[in-house]
Amino acid sequence: MQTTVGIIGAGPAGLLLARLLRNAGIDSVTLESRDRAYVEDRQRAGILEQGTVDALRSAGVAERMDRAGMVHDGIELRFDRSTHRLDFPALTGGRSVMVYAQTEVVKDLISRQLTGGIPLLFEAQVRSVEGADTDQPLVRYLHEGREKTLTCDYVVGCDGFHGVTRNAVPESVRTTYERSYPYSWLGILAQAPPVYDELIYTHSERGFALASMRSPAVSRLYLQVPNGTDPTDWPDGRVWDELDARFAVDTDPGWKLERGHVSSKAVLPMRSSVTEPMRFGSVFLAGDAAHIVPPTGAKGLNLAVSDVIVLARALIHEQNSGSTELLDAYSDTCLRRVWRAEHFSYSMTTMLHKDPAQSAFDTRLQLSQLHRVVNSRHAAAELAENYTGLPIG
Ligand code: RFL
Ligand code: PHB
């Protein structure tokens, strides 16, 4: 097979890139190692920045999102057993976020891709990418029990944190910057109405907790747990009791979450990682293949989307003008935004979680920062601008 752009991975990055290129008349083939059901059901992100929402609209895949997505104009921060609201539009000059699950974004993109006839192969596992330093890179993959090849002008690795495309960038030019955290999240999906109509991020003596949602009838809830936690040590009753304890506030001592059937429960490690550069020759990296953030800032999916917007613009520019100027700037353009999101995700994470080695002094510093955020318009605006998303490109 032969195409202009070979895309590896059908997560949000790969699928949106294929759509943006098709809208500009550029051919692509997407290869995805998993089957369609697996890709569509993977529980992940829930928050779309304004720029992501705008991008999905202009790509023509926002019809269901505009019907089912929930616009959120703020979040609650809870600490010291009291609650405080940040009003995003007031703090950012009108920006907000949308709650619409990644599973739904992916379903919308896949159905549009298949009905639009853009080649997308499931259960096509890429083994290697060769010839990154040539103008005809080659992708080797396994499909229907046979090894096959795809020849391209460009290859884009949208194959996530455990992908193989990164290996096409020689170790001598590649640097990975990493940080791990001494805690994980236990996430549940529950058939229970959300506790509140916005997200609640909680700092407590017992550790961090987050109340999010998927719909007016489905809650998505997270608890900080030690690394290595086995989810079977957390029967449903224990999860609900712990959530109640962490979200407790003095103004409403009888307050409890509404409980419901728990349909999924998993432990997620927290990591920060950035691989530089995000381009080598004719191979580009986008989304989690190049960088990951701890989920506290809700940035991963949004960064994947902003990478492919920058890349699609650059490929279209090259096609229309013959100039590689934007492609040459791709890595630097993306990395500026990536590092901002890394810093924001790191600050949200370390401000809200309880490090097992934390001293009483460290806790006082966290509380001081939280008080600053809710009492200073400047500090609140800094958080709100980062959360709702900075301009792309
Ligand atoms: P993905 O979604 O991981 O997709 C990569 C795809 O590549 C495929 N693949 C291969 N295909 C062919 N050959 C190979 N050799 C392959 N190797 C891998 C994989 O099967 C997969 O389909 O990467 P992408 O597209 O870059 O998207 C990134 C996002 O998925 C990720 O950043 C977010 O989910 C992170 N994240 C959040 N981001 C937000 O913006 N807002 C949030 O609220 C948010 N919450 C979260 C999150 C991530 C979480 N987890 C599970 C890590 C909450 C959680 C719990
Ligand atoms: C989610 O709804 O899954 C979610 C929301 C906000 C975050 C992380 C995850 O910061």
Rounded distance, CA 298 to CA 35, Å? 26
pLDDT at res. 392: 77
DSSP output for 126-143: EEEEE-TTSSS-EEEEEE
Which residue is it, tokens 């407790």?
248
What are the backbone angles phi and psi of residue 68, rounded to the nearest 5°?
Answer: -105, -20
Average model confidence (pLDDT) across the chain:
96
Name the residue type at position 344: F
Say yes or no to pLDDT of 355 above 90: yes
Say yes or no to pLDDT of 172 above 80: yes
pLDDT at res. 391: 82
Rounded distance, CA 228 to CA 237, Å? 20
Q: What percent of the chain has pLDDT over 70?
A: 100
Average pLDDT score over residue span 10-38:
97
Average pLDDT score over residue span 167-192:
97
Contact 250, 225 (CB under 8 A): no
Average pLDDT score over residue span 153-164:
97
pLDDT at res. 208: 98
What are the backbone angles phi and psi of residue 261, rounded to the nearest 5°?
Answer: -60, 130
Distance from residue 46's CA to the centre of ligand 2 (Å) = 5
DSSP output for 357-388: T--HHHHHHHHHHHHHHHH-HHHHHHHHHHHH
Q: Could you report the per-residue pLDDT of 72-96, keeping only the tens digit for each? A: 999 999 999 999 999 999 999 999 9
Say yes or no to pLDDT of 45 above 90: no
Say yes or no to pLDDT of 3 above 80: yes
Question: Of the residues 100, 141, 154, 201, which is catalytic?
Answer: 201
Say yes or no to pLDDT of 144 above 80: yes
**pTM of this structure:** 0.96
Name the residue type at position 131: G
pLDDT at res. 318: 97
Distance from residue 141's CA to the centre of ligand 2 (Å) = 33
Average pLDDT score over residue span 344-373:
98
Alpha-carbon dihedral 289, 50, 41, 64, rounded to 10 degrees: -140
Say yes or no to pLDDT of 393 above 80: no
What are the backbone angles phi and psi of residue 115, rounded to the nearest 5°?
Answer: -70, -30
CA 283 to chain centre: 22
Residue-range domain boundaries for the chain? 2-70+102-178+271-354
Average pLDDT score over residue span 30-51:
94
Rounded distance, CA 124 to CA 200, Å? 40
Q: Would you put residue 117 in left (φ > 0), alpha (ψ -120 to 50) or beta?
A: left
pLDDT at res. 361: 98
Lining ligand 1 with CB less than 6 A are 8-14, 31-34, 39, 44-47, 102, 125-126, 158-160, 163-164, 187, 268, 287-288, 295, 298-302, 304
pLDDT at res. 255: 86
> Edge-to-edge, what's the strand order for the sheet holding 47-49?
47-49, 97-99, 70-72
Q: Could you report the per-residue pLDDT of 244-299, keeping only the tens digit for each? A: 999 999 998 888 999 999 999 999 999 999 999 999 999 999 999 999 999 999 99
Q: Could you report the per-residue pLDDT of 102-137, keeping only the tens digit for each? A: 999 999 999 999 998 889 999 999 999 999 999 999
Which residues lie closer than 8 Å to 149 by C-beta, 6 or more apart? 1, 138, 139, 140, 141
Distance from residue 11's CA to the centre of ligand 1 (Å) = 6
Q: Ligand 1 test: best mutation among 17, 29, 102, most atoms within 8 Å of CB?
A: 102
pLDDT at res. 5: 98
pLDDT at res. 387: 97
pLDDT at res. 23: 94
Q: Which CATH class is domain 2-70+102-178+271-354?
A: alpha beta
Say yes or no to pLDDT of 226 above 80: yes
